[in-house]
């Protein structure tokens, strides 16, 4: 596996120099975060980002993410122009040496948490999700959730949710198929691997359709365009938040097919009610057996990119919740240790 770390650019308090000091770290996962959604990423901006990362002694081969415009998900007439822009961004990234693009097809927002800093028994804090709190929210009266609600003004959000009333799961599947049939041939031509991220969490939210939430959804997606370029970002935390999902089995199935291009590895502690909190990576700290999941990657000969996903905020660190240096660094070393042990004991 190629070990990577997400970096949010020059404004990120976690510097490239710190990231490079993590044992075994080779790659950075990043993006151009201030380019308007739907516009072509300029080649010179991609080159500048790559140059900054490489100057720190790290590689830049995975982008997370190139956002998919809501008009594409809604199937609006403007989607053809926006898809053409997306195709050109794929070409520009491929020309710069990018190998994998992570993206998602979640309507309106790309993740949901009800708490950004839940305090755990040991004094660390984590991202958490309460089913009860979500289900008690009436979208018609406004939505106030941490992390994403500031992305839209209240009237914008209300209008967008109204548009999605006409889009059920069947129609969203049609729109995803239209998108994939347009971009995967371009990815094939460029040698790019597209890696769709699952819904987070893998359940309907506010009546919006969710179509990347379980094994059958993943199988349907890779079958829409049966190409190695059409693959997955298999996120153990996102899928693992759904008790119906056996993440180890998913890794063995889709990893065995060569369709996992990017692995997000993190742990969650879930309850029967569907609540969850993000925990330390160590298997005993959450509901997922991370050792078994890593072994599944090892057994299937995974050679792609992985990153330790969200971590707790520990040792007094402040900054973007879930994206501190310390706990993600611990997760990276833990995963790397598991992998080395499997190499030497196999």
How far apart CA 330 and CA 324 sit, in angstroms, is 11
How far apart CA 308 and CA 264 sit, in angstroms, is 6
Which of 1, 65, 29, 41 lies closest to 338, judged by CA? 1
How far apart CA 283 and CA 73 sit, in angstroms, is 36
How far apart CA 22 and CA 33 sit, in angstroms, is 24
- Tokens 């889709």 locate to 254
How far apart CA 128 and CA 148 sit, in angstroms, is 14
> Which residues are identified as catalytic?
197, 235, 264, 309-310, 323
How far apart CA 333 and CA 24 sit, in angstroms, is 8
Which of 260, 256, 243, 255 lies closest to 305, judged by CA? 260
How far apart CA 225 and CA 221 sit, in angstroms, is 8
Dig out the tokens for 266 from the structure: 């993190």
How far apart CA 82 and CA 275 sit, in angstroms, is 36
Beta carbons of 201 and 112 less than 8 angstroms apart: yes
């Amino acid at each position: 596996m190629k070990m990577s770390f997400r970096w949010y650019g020059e404004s990120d308090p976690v510097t490239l120099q710190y990231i490079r000091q993590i044992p075994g770290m080779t790659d950075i996962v990043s993006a151009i975060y201030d380019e308007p959604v739907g516009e072509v990423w300029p080649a010179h901006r991609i080159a500048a980002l790559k140059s900054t990362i490489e100057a720190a002694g790290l590689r830049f081969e995975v982008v997370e993410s190139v956002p998919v415009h809501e008009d594409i998900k809604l199937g609006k007439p403007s989607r053809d122009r926006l898809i053409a822009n997306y195709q050109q961004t794929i070409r520009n990234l491929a020309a710069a040496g990018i190998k994998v693009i992570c993206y998602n097809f979640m309507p309106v927002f790309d993740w949901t948490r009800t708490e950004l800093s839940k305090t755990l028994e040991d004094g660390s804090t984590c991202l958490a999700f309460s089913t009860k709190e979500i289900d008690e929210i009436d979208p018609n009266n406004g939505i106030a959730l941490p992390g994403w609600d500031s992305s839209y003004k209240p009237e914008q959000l209300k209008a967008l949710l109204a548009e999605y009333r006409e889009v059920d799961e069947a129609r969203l599947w049609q729109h995803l198929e239209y998108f994939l049939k347009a971009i995967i041939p371009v990815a094939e031509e460029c040698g790019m691997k597209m890696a769709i991220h699952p819904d987070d969490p893998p359940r309907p939210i506010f009546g919006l359709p969710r179509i990347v939430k379980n094994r059958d959804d993943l199988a349907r997606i890779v079958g829409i365009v049966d190409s190695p370029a059409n693959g997955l970002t298999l996120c153990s935390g996102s899928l693992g938040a759904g008790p119906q999902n056996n993440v180890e089995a998913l890794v063995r199935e889709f990893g065995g097919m060569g369709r996992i291009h990017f692995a997000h590895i993190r742990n969650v502690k879930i309850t029967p009610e569907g609540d969850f909190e993000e925990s330390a990576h160590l298997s005993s700290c959450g509901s997922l057996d991370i050792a078994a999941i890593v072994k599944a990657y090892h057994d299937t000969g995974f050679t792609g990119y992985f990153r330790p996903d969200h971590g707790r905020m520990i040792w007094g660190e402040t900054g973007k919740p879930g994206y501190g240096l310390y706990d993600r660094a611990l997760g990276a070393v833990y995963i790397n240790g598991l992998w080395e042990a499997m190499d030497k004991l196999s």
